[in-house]
Every structure is written in C-alpha cells, then in structure tokens.
C-alpha cells in the first residue's frame, strides 16, 4: 500500500462523506454531485486495487495478512456501489445520508487496510 495514495484516498472519502451528509441533512435528494463523489470514491478504490496487485506481484506482502487486506479492499469496493444503487432506487434525503455514511465507512476501511498492510496501529 503506497502511503501517499492511501492518504489521498482517505481524505477524498472523508470529504465525500461529509459533503453527502451535509447535503442529506439539508434535505437534498441524491444529485449528480453526491453520486459523483461516491464515483470518485470507487475510482480511488479501483486504483488502490491495481496498485496493491502490482505490489504483491513484485513480492511485497502485508505485515499481517495479505488475504485479509484484499478481503477488506474487495468489500470496500462493494460499499459505494451498494450505496449508489440505494440512492438511485430511493430518491429521498436519507439516500443522500446513506451515501455519506458509505463514504465514511470506506474511510474507516482504508484506515484498517493501512493497519493490516503496515502493521502500525496509530
């Protein structure tokens, strides 16, 4: 896991989560902006997947468990997709809140993936 990319993805997901929560609590239904923010979250996770596969193919391993790391990464890839599908099916302010919670959940999962990869618990 490349540290600078981890930090960019983490702050992107935190910003997307807070943005969607703010829109949701203001009573706004899901819009292109809120869905786009989760699209960026998904894109960051896809890039993380490609980078992680490349690192493992080069011989790098997670300090704890590489399989667990990839399990977190694959699960994190599913969270934004599920949230966007929910938002598209139920267009209410609560769907926008769900988008925000999903982005924040991905941020927490990124922190856990970083802990698994580096073995550092700070």
- Report whether pLDDT(1) > 90: no
What gap in Å lies between CA 112 and CA 121, rounded to an integer? 9
Mean pLDDT of 62-71: 95
Per domain, the residue ranges of the chain are 3-118
pLDDT given for residue 56 in this prediction? 96
pLDDT of residue 96: 96
pLDDT at 45 over 90: yes
Residue pair 117/62 in contact by the 8 Å Cβ criterion: yes
pLDDT value at 122 more than 80: no
The single-letter DSSP state of residue 30 is P
Distance CA 32, CA 80 (A): 14
| 36 pLDDT more than 90 | yes
Residues 83-102 have pLDDT tens digits of: 999 999 999 999 999 999 99
What is the arithmetic mean of pLDDT over 29-49? Answer: 96
């Amino acid at each position: 896991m490349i540290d600078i990319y981890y930090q960019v993805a983490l702050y992107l997901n935190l910003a997307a989560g807070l943005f969607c929560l703010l829109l949701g609590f203001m009573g706004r239904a899901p819009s292109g902006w809120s869905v786009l923010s989760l699209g960026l979250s998904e894109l960051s996770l896809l890039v993380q997947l490609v980078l992680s596969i490349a690192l493992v193919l080069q011989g790098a391993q997670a300090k704890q468990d590489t399989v667990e790391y990839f399990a977190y990464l694959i699960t994190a890839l599913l969270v934004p997709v599920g949230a966007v599908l929910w938002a598209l099916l139920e267009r209410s302010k609560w769907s926008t809140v769900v988008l925000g919670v999903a982005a924040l959940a991905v941020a927490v999962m990124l922190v856990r993936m970083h802990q698994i990869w580096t073995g550092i618990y700070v």
